[in-house]
Amino acid sequence: MRILFVTSECYPLVKTGGLADVSAALPPALARAGADVRLLLPGYPAVLKGLSDLAPVGDPIPDLPGMAGAAPRMLLGRMPDGTPAYALDAPALFGRPGNPYMGPDGRDWPDNAQRFAALAWAAAAFTAPAGLDPWWRPDVLHAHDWQAGLVPAYLRLRPDRFGGERRPGTVLTIHNIAYQGQFPPWTMGDIHLPSSAYAIDGVEYYGSVGYLKAGCYYADRLTTVSPTYSQEIQTDEQGAGLEGLLSVRADRLSGILNGVDYGVWDPARDPLLPAPYSAGDMGGKAVCKTALQEAFGLERAAARPLAAVVSRLTWHKGLDLVLEAAGGWVAAGGQLAVLGTGEPWMEQGFRQLAAWHPGSVGVRIGYDEGLSHRLQAGADLLLVPSRSEPCGLTQLYALKYGTLPLVRRTGGLADTVIDATPAAVNDGAATGFSFGAATVREIAFCLRRALALYRRPDRWQVIARHAMTRDFGWEAPAREYLELYRAAQTDAA
């Protein structure tokens, strides 16, 4: 089965969050399971530079939204790991360095509607009767997030251009429903969809054009990245206005938990760490902790519990709770190391916190892949207090690194971390800590529970070792996706 995997970011070429990690790891896992998978990425400078053996395929692509007149080419190359990847070579749309969605001023690019309509149109072009790549025609298009949300709409609404005799199946994966790709109604003039599609039974989303809505409406199959989140997005609180549509389509919606690429995230063979370690030999973890304390200007104290944060600093990640609970944590002897970038008020809050607690709180505002690995390895606890979390990857990395995740019970966090209640500790199931309500009281109480357990190193070690042996590899999810692709093909036929 041939799968075109349409995504707007992919590690290590371009990454703003977990979607990049999924795009890097799931296609090779699908390939190992027998599928013929190719990525389609926007031709950002980092993509054109990072793909090897790039060469044009097929004819120039006509009528690309936002490209008045010019007809860009599709290029085919390889990711560093060998996975075949197409890049849409449209410099007018993607030839901009830095963040893929925002300019240097922190604002969304004003032509995002056209840029990502073009990406979707180019994906659809692979299914045109004449094809795009004469040597390769997908059976299923797997679109990710709002950036690829129009892919299913083009296949369903433009059969004159795409789909041919047998339309390929479409799958849309929602990585985060909070990001909608919402554009003004006049966008309809640019994106080559019939104006009749601007309707509640179509792409209209609360008076605007919704790219994620379009995908949710037209895709044969919908997935999201954890079973709990697939339920949550059918509720008023977490459905972002799509709960009605998703409830109606519940029989087409499934939650498939993300996996971890243990080729990248494994403390036994992670070249970014000062010392390796494993469940069988934890010696290196103490070395990693000392190095981390030094890197963050923290007191070099083996006995002080060190909590870490590696995250986008946004409200939905719940890190304001950490800001508020940090004073109590430090007073009780804890340390905190934070790596993140995001909303200015939150960045400022963490800078201030570090200034108030020298030696106990260290903060690095920025994006640093290497440091994120060293935090995972050197810390005792990883804090993920998200208000909502579709899956979350950092808590899965923490488990592998024997760093106990302390999470709010929501989405994928609820599905992957087993709270160290007395019963779970006794029967050996516990892998971390979790709390319910997004309040300072609850996180503070949870931190106190963690501290109490930290004071019992024998017990802590048992839990950490158990966490390290949990398997969240991509093999099982890849099999689930393959089954889903078959279902999507059947639906489309």
Interacting residues with ligand ADP (CB under 6 A)? 17-18, 21, 310-312, 339-341, 367-369, 372, 391-394
The C-alpha atoms of residue 171 and residue 356 are separated, in whole angstroms, by 49
Task: Identify which range of 135-143, 194-202, 390-398, 444-452 contacts ligand GLC by CB under 6 A.
Answer: 390-398
Min. distance of Cβ 257 from ligand ADP in angstroms? 12
Q: Is 22 in the site for ligand GLC (CB under 6 A)?
A: yes
Which candidate, 264, 293, 464, places its Cα nearest to that of 370? 264
Which pair of structure tokens corresponds to residue 128?
């045109």
Min. distance of Cβ 262 from ligand GLC in angstroms? 16
Task: Identify which range of 15-23, 30-38, 57-65, 68-76 contacts ligand GLC by CB under 6 A.
Answer: 15-23
Give yes or no for a cis peptide into 358 (omega within 30° of 0).
no
Min. distance of Cβ 388 from ligand GLC in angstroms? 8
**Which positions from 174 through 193 interact with ligand GLC, judged by CB under 6 A?**
175-176
Min. distance of Cβ 395 from ligand ADP in angstroms? 7
The C-alpha atoms of residue 82 and residue 154 are separated, in whole angstroms, by 30
Q: Which residues contact 246 (CB under 8 A, 6 or more apart)?
A: 216, 222, 233, 234, 239, 253
Q: Which residue is nearest to ligand GLC (CB)?
A: 18
Q: Which does 225 bind (CB under 5 to 8 A by kind): ligand ADP, ligand GLC, none?
A: ligand GLC
In this chain, which of 19, 151, 430, 446 binds ligand GLC, going by CB under 6 A? 19
The C-alpha atoms of residue 37 and residue 7 are separated, in whole angstroms, by 13
Number of residues that bind ligand GLC (CB under 6 A): 14
Q: Is 361 in the site for ligand GLC (CB under 6 A)?
A: no
The C-alpha atoms of residue 17 and residue 5 are separated, in whole angstroms, by 17
Which pair of structure tokens corresponds to residue 377?
């390895």
Q: What is the DSSP letter of 281?
A: B
With vertex at residue 392, the alpha carbon angle to CA 366 and CA 477, rounded to the nearest 5 degrees, is 130
**Which positions from 224 through 263 interact with ligand GLC, judged by CB under 6 A?**
225, 258
Residue number with CB closer to ligand GLC (389 or 442): 389
Q: Which does 255 bind (CB under 5 to 8 A by kind): ligand GLC, ligand ADP, none?
A: none
The C-alpha atoms of residue 63 and residue 59 are separated, in whole angstroms, by 13
The C-alpha atoms of residue 68 and residue 488 are separated, in whole angstroms, by 34
Q: Is 340 in the site for ligand GLC (CB under 6 A)?
A: no
Min. distance of Cβ 384 from ligand ADP in angstroms? 8
Min. distance of Cβ 375 from ligand ADP in angstroms? 9
Q: Is 389 in the site for ligand GLC (CB under 6 A)?
A: yes
The C-alpha atoms of residue 79 and residue 436 are separated, in whole angstroms, by 41
Which pair of structure tokens corresponds to residue 479?
């099999």
Q: Is 398 in the site for ligand GLC (CB under 6 A)?
A: no
Residue number with CB closer to ligand ADP (392 or 477): 392
Task: Identify which range of 193-201, 350-358, 371-379, 384-392 contacts ligand GLC by CB under 6 A.
Answer: 384-392
What distance lies between CA 477 and its chain's CA centroid?
Answer: 15
Q: Is 382 in the site for ligand GLC (CB under 6 A)?
A: no
The C-alpha atoms of residue 221 and residue 243 are separated, in whole angstroms, by 16
Min. distance of Cβ 81 from ligand GLC in angstroms? 18
Among the residues of 7-111, which ranges form H helices? 18-32, 45-50, 91-94
The C-alpha atoms of residue 471 and residue 392 are separated, in whole angstroms, by 15
Min. distance of Cβ 189 from ligand ADP in angstroms? 32
Q: Which does 339 bind (CB under 5 to 8 A by kind): ligand GLC, ligand ADP, none?
A: ligand ADP
CB of 299 within 8 A of CB of 360? Answer: yes
Q: Which residue has the tokens 């709990």?
A: 228
The C-alpha atoms of residue 139 and residue 488 are separated, in whole angstroms, by 10
Q: Which does 369 bind (CB under 5 to 8 A by kind): ligand GLC, ligand ADP, none?
A: ligand ADP
Q: Which residue is nearest to ligand ADP (CB)?
A: 18
Q: Is 390 in the site for ligand GLC (CB under 6 A)?
A: yes
Residue number with CB closer to ligand GLC (114 or 173): 173
Residue number with CB closer to ligand ADP (368 or 480): 368
Q: Is 169 in the site for ligand GLC (CB under 6 A)?
A: no
3-state secondary structure 92-155: HHHCCCCCCCECCCCCECCCHHHHHHHHHHHHHHCCCCCCCECCECCCEEEEECHHHCHHHHHH
Binding residues for ligand GLC, per CB under 6 A?
A: 17-19, 22, 175-176, 225, 258, 389-393, 412
